[in-house]
Amino acid sequence: MFRCFIFTAFILLSATAYAQTNDSQNNNQDSPINDESESIATISDILSGLEKTQQTQKSPSKIAPLFTGSAELGFLYKTGNTNSGDIKTGFDLRFEQGNWLSLLNVDLLIKKADVKNNETGETHFKTTDQKWTITSQTNYKLVGDKNYIYGNIWYEESEFNSFVNQSSISTGWGRHWYKSEKSSLWADIGPGYKRDLFKRTQTIEGKTEESWIIQAQALYLSKLGEHVEFKQYFSAKQSLSTDDNSTYKAESTITTKLISTLQLKFTFTVDYNTEVKIGKENLDTQTAVALVYSF
């Protein structure tokens, strides 16, 4: 399942590139990227963390690359009475041409700790929990630049919560609601389908829950300084059935540029599930600091 979602996301990017190439030929466009391309930046920009506004304003005649990306790495290691380590890594890929914008984000969180073998009494430093998250979104800009239609795929496999994995697919309409020199606001909404696979316990059998949802997303960007940027992202996957699980996510990010291609990113994430196993919390939070390299 995990490999299938990665393959699907890359197929989505490839199909987008092929479709936009044909669209460019039919309309005899001289340049695949122009200044208006900034206006189609959407909610998915929280996935890429790639803002090229200043570069485009300084070099308006320079053609931006079709593919851009970034990779990040952060870790926390503890020693003493308990040895443990947390590693957060991931990468973002972005494709933009004409009216098309596609983004792919992959995140990995690994927790390692001392684990004692009950039979031998020996302690080994090994992986105890990990979390994979994959998100892919493609947008097509409509006439007037501010409006767009989107398709979104999300998959998460986590050992920290009540689920073996969670996934969703959604499509709908979005709009660039506000734009100034220092801030912007995007939001989109549409129907979708969600699947949650609950973990099995000693007393409760594992179960699969499938439901129709309404997905809404919003992103606010603000330049706090020449080299500091603030991002606030919110996502809701609201189940149409009150008995099914709904998920909500909020992510606050402050990025500070160290050099042209290296940034320091502070992230605080809140995840909330309405239905969880007995003994598990509905609310999960994560605070992370990572170095981000853009290419």
Measured CA to CA, the distance from residue 208 to residue 200 in angstroms comes to 11
Assess contact for 198 and 164: CB atoms under 8 A: yes
Q: What are phi and psi of 254, to 5 degrees?
A: -120, 125
Work out the average pLDDT over 214-236: 95
Inform me whether the pLDDT recorded for 176 exceeds 50.
yes
**pLDDT tier, 83 (very low <50, low <70, confident <90, very high otherwise):** confident
What is the three-class DSSP state of 9?
Answer: helix
Q: Do residues 37 and 69 lie in contact, with contact meaning Cβ atoms separated by under 8 Å? A: no
Per-residue pLDDT, 278: 79
DSSP state of 294: E
Which string of DSSP letters, residue by residue, matches 130-186? EEEEEEEEEEEE-TTSSEEEEEEEEEEEESSSSEEEEEEEEEEEEEEEEE-SSEEEE
What is the number of alpha carbons within 13 Å of residue 227 lying toward its C-beta? 9
pLDDT bucket at 293, cuts 50 / 70 / 90: very high
Alpha-carbon distance 181 to 251, whole Å?
Answer: 23
> In this predicted structure, what is the pLDDT of residue 81?
62
Mean pLDDT taken over the chain: 80
Q: What CA–CA distance (Å, rounded) separates 275 from 295?
A: 40
Task: Give how far Cα 237 sits from Cα of 136, 152, 242, 276, 283, Å.
Answer: 16, 12, 12, 15, 15
User: What is residue 53's predicted lDDT score, i.e. its pLDDT?
Assistant: 45
Residue 7 region, left (φ>0) first, then alpha (ψ -120 to 50), else beta?
A: alpha
Q: Please give the full DSSP string across 92-134, using - where no structure is assigned.
A: EEEEEETTEEEEEEEEEEEEEEEEE-TTT--EEEEEEEEEEEE
Residues facing 108 on adjacent strands: 89, 132
Task: Tell me how far apart the alpha carbons of residues 227 and 257 are, in angstroms, rounded to a whole number.
Answer: 5
Instruction: Give yes or no for residue 254 having a pLDDT over 70.
Output: yes
Topology annotation, domain 2-294: Porin (2.40.160)
pLDDT of residue 35: 43
Q: Which distant-in-sequence residues (6+ apart) come within 8 Å of 140 by Cβ? A: 99, 100, 148, 149, 150
What do you get for the CA distance between the two ends of the chain, in Å?
29
pLDDT score at 213: 97
**17-26, 68-77, 147-156, 274-283: least confidently modelled range:** 17-26
Specify the pLDDT at position 161: 84
Highest mean pLDDT among 9-13, 76-80, 223-227, 251-255: 251-255
67 versus 256: the higher-pLDDT residue is 256
Summarize the confidence of residues 24-50 as an average pLDDT: 44
pTM over 0.85? The answer is: no
Backbone angles phi, psi at 97, to 5 degrees: -155, 125
CA distance 271 to 280: 13
Task: Report how far residue 126's alpha carbon sits from residue 191's, in angstroms, rounded to the nearest whole number.
Answer: 41
- Could you tell me if 123 and 132 are in contact, meaning their C-beta atoms sit under 8 angstroms apart? no
